[in-house]
Amino acid sequence: MGGILIGLAAAALFFLNGKILGISNITAELLYPRRPGKAWRGVFLLGLLSGGLILLAWHPGSLAVPSPAPLGLLILAGFLVGYGASLGRGCTSGHGICGISRLSARSIVATLVFMGSGMLTVYLVRHVIGAGS
Amino acid sequence: MRLLAVYLCGVLFALGLGVAGMTQPTKVIAFLDIFGDWDPSLAFVMGGAVGVNLLLYRLTLRRRRPLLEEAFVIPSRRAINARLLGGAALFGVGWGLSGYCPGPALVASVSGTTPVLAFVAAMVAGMLVFQKLPGEEPRPGESRPGESRPGALRAGRSGAQAGPGAAPPGAGREGCEGCG
């Protein structure tokens, strides 16, 4: 059900506005000092946060789960996610959902790589170091 | 009207992430934990999202233009290079460590709890550091006002026939591939 909503949101943004729904690109472009296309990106993020507030009101359990990682590790992880998505030009939404839907070879490769490195990371943290579970 | 549509897409996307469980880091980590107690449910979420989008994307590309704008903006980068692979690999490490990727982290940040806010702040810092470092990849079709160039769709269609996911030269383009 959630997956259908995610797909519908991405498809609707493309059908209505002709834009690819990629969160890291939308965020990163807003951070550049002078770039066109800030209005729609800013409004999209407002919508995203509004959706978060709706979840907080009606489905608070979905936002109540903390990450098992300690704060220092979370900060490192956030940095890697932000830097990595910028370098690879895409994240789970842009490469993973939109890119695969466009049958973009680049996005399919990127998705396989970040799923692979994510799985390897979880394997190392949980089963080799034995933490975080 | 255009911006209202964008806003509602953002709301819908956030609700989808929440309902799917993507905003719960433990669930995401359990999905990535294929060597342990694997929770495959997010694979169905991703499959559902891609399935719906794949179909509707194809149908949308039969149109000459999006409903509310002049042209489609289709990512122009094609290359599978070290930047793509390295960036995706780093991204995956961060994703696996935390259980957050950018969209769910932003959605969850409205809860106002310190860990999510710290993650989002660090993510923004990572993006800013990338932007400050020299040697950013040149954008194909750098001409910037070209964000909405008419005719993208026609080209996009022929591109789709020419090869998987191909957006041909001259399509309405933006400097991102995937744009995740």
3-state DSSP assignment of residue B173:
strand
Q: Which residues contact B115 (CB under 8 A, 6 or more apart)?
A: A66, A67, A69, A71, A74
Domain that residue B121 falls in? 2-174
Mutation choice for A interface testing from B22, B98, B142 by most A CBs within 10 A: B98
Determine, for residues B66 and A18 on separate chains, whether the beta-carbon distance falls below 8 Å. yes
In this model, does residue B170 exceed pLDDT 70?
Answer: no
- The number of residues making up chain A comes to 133
H-assigned helices in chain B: 2-20, 25-32, 41-60, 82-98, 102-108, 114-132, 152-162
B65 domain residue, yes or no? yes
B149: left (phi over 0), alpha (psi -120 to 50) or beta: beta
The mean of the pLDDT values for chain B is 83
Partners of residue B126 in chain A, C-beta under 8 Å? 78-86
A86 touches B178 (CB < 8 A): no
- Kindly report the nearest CA distance between residue B85 and chain A, in angstroms: 6
In this model, does residue B147 exceed pLDDT 50?
Answer: no
Q: Is A42 on the interface with B (CB under 8 A)?
A: no
Most confident of A73-77, B75-79, B144-148: A73-77
CA distances (Å), origin B70, targets B66, B148, B152: 7, 6, 9
How many of the other CB atoms lie within 10 Å of CB of B97? 27
pLDDT band for position B146 (50/70/90)?
A: very low
The ipTM (two decimal places) reads: 0.95
Residue B173 phi, psi (nearest 5): -140, 165
The kind and range of the H/E element at B174 are strand B173-174
pLDDT band for position B168 (50/70/90)?
A: very low
Quote the DSSP letter at residue A78. Answer: H
In this prediction the pTM is 0.86
Give the dihedral sign, CA B28/A65/A49/B127: negative
pLDDT band for position A130 (50/70/90)?
A: confident
B164 domain residue, yes or no? yes
3-state DSSP assignment of residue B77:
coil
Tokens of residue B110, six digits: 């409205």
Partners of residue B98 in chain A, C-beta under 8 Å? 67, 69, 73-74, 77-78, 81
B180 domain residue, yes or no? no
B49 vs B141, more confident: B49
B179 domain residue, yes or no? no
Tell which A residues from 107 to 126 touch B, by Cβ distance under 8 Å: 107, 109-111, 113-123, 125-126
Number of domains in chain B: 1
B23 domain residue, yes or no? yes
B55 domain residue, yes or no? yes
B119 domain residue, yes or no? yes
| Of A19, A105, A17, residue with least CA distance to B81 | A105
| Of B89, B83, B98, B59, residue with least CA distance to B138 | B83
